[in-house]
Chains A and B, each alone.
Chain A
């Protein structure tokens, strides 16, 4: 039996990290993610980890880089505005192949925006975590339990692939309290051959992303890693897809809402299913491959102008069967509205 707690999503992220074996947490306050840092300030010492509040997100992520370079298990928590500032160093860490976990709790809209639920940072974290064209794994939990599971797991993923890993969710999921079960045990930590660890007598090591003499070979090594990640990290949930004529696609809390929509639609006799990407980078294209050339319709639901819908269209082959439902930014999509759109699509079918 694990340990159950009734806890906020953000605090669940912090507690899961402590239990996974997080040794250093570096942080700058930003709503709606600040509870992660507050929880760490109060609890990380329990396991001997270090907490530091930096003077900015730029400093926080570079502190994390410095800690990670020693082989310590490190993390930061932020929101889109902070993630923008961190992107420079995330690129350096991806280039230097240094593991770390970044929890990004999305804010709504560009600029200062607002705090309502949104998914506007999909492209930012999956495609644009800084310059240079790196790919980093991104988990998209849909509830507090998944925040716990994925934060815990992400430390292992980061070390296995030697890369920063993002856990992305919206402010709603971060603020709501839910009952969760914490897994037992830490993420297993294996010895490595790259970090600046304490090993008297070993040869000096260099942790760097700079390849002034020519980056060709290093690029190909990174590409091979991205291929490996694409092979091993395509994660998704399929629900009622076997006989579905219309398949909803949604990640995070939208995926959770869509699951309820599927049940409602089935009650009405609509053959509706759901594909919920659990990792949004690498995008789980293989979930969609079998539908190429079929008459199955896809309806992607996002709380943004439309970002993941392009990945869906690419995976399924864009045609008249791919549709997008743009929810107004700043509120969760209503089940009734999605159902109406499904009825419409069904009508167009017959």
Chain B
């Protein structure tokens, strides 16, 4: 019998600890599949920022560095410079990358460092309880925008991939989504492309993944997927902004 679907070797036997319906498990599993398919388990390093995914080192089997909030981009650059053999990727939320770590996230692309940046955008600060993020949609209610995000006072949602794509140093920039199976498969392709680029020395790649957060959105997992399809994609269009 031929196995058509197996557990990735990137995970051990522990449960992830994510809320039911969370997107992190899907993204980290896809990264694990890429690791297996590309044969880079001895070289792969995840650099984790601070957010819901910070404790994910527990259930992953490969090398992991956990760094301060927002700083994975800088740590990845330093690591890649010291050991170019590593396949280094940053794993961050939208607040980690787009707010506190804006500078450290953008500068690897300015320099054109050969690293991979995976950003999970769920439009809120989830780990701290659902505060407004740079990506929160106009009018979206959060604990710190109780009347809905007022874009006149707090600005429009931040589009990090579009910004990074405009920099000469970036090579591949895409936004993908997890809201249905077809899009999950596309997301996997984009993530794999981002890792292949690094392996082949192409240069800086960023993939932003639109991801559901049932606990903070106060929605059922299936309704979260519908919200992404109907509302979130309208603000954050999917696509490849740069590179193949």
The residues of A with any CB-CB pair to B shorter than 8 Å are 23-24, 26, 50, 52, 54-56, 58-60, 62-67, 69-70, 72, 74, 88-89, 92, 96, 196, 198-201, 203-210, 212-213
Contact = CB atoms under 8 A, between A and B. Distances in A.
B189 interface: no
Interface string B34-77: 00000000110101000000110100111111111001011111
* 5 nearest A-B residue pairs (beta carbon): A63-B78, A66-B75, A66-B78, A66-B79, A67-B82
Nearest to A208: B66
Best-surrounded residue of B43, B65, B80 (most CB of chain A within 10 A): B65
B66 A206 contact: yes
B65 A66 contact: yes
Given A55-B103, A70-B86, A92-B68, A64 B78 contact: yes
A50 B74 contact: no
Contact of A62 (B43, B63, B64, B104): B104
Contacts, number: 122
Nearest to A49: B82
A72 B82 CA distance: 7
Contact of A67 (B43, B62, B78): B78
A89 B71 contact: yes
A60 B81 CA distance: 12
Interface of B: 42-43, 45, 47, 54-55, 57, 60-68, 71, 73-83, 85-86, 88, 103-104, 107, 110
Contact of A54 (B55, B74, B79): B74
A59 B63 CA distance: 22
Contacts of B77: 52, 59, 63, 66
Given A204-B62, A210-B55, A59 B82 contact: no
A96 B76 CA distance: 16
Contact of B68 (A72, A88, A204): A88
B104 A196 contact: no
A52 B111 CA distance: 11
Contacts of B64: 204-208
Nearest to A197: B83
B68 A23 contact: no
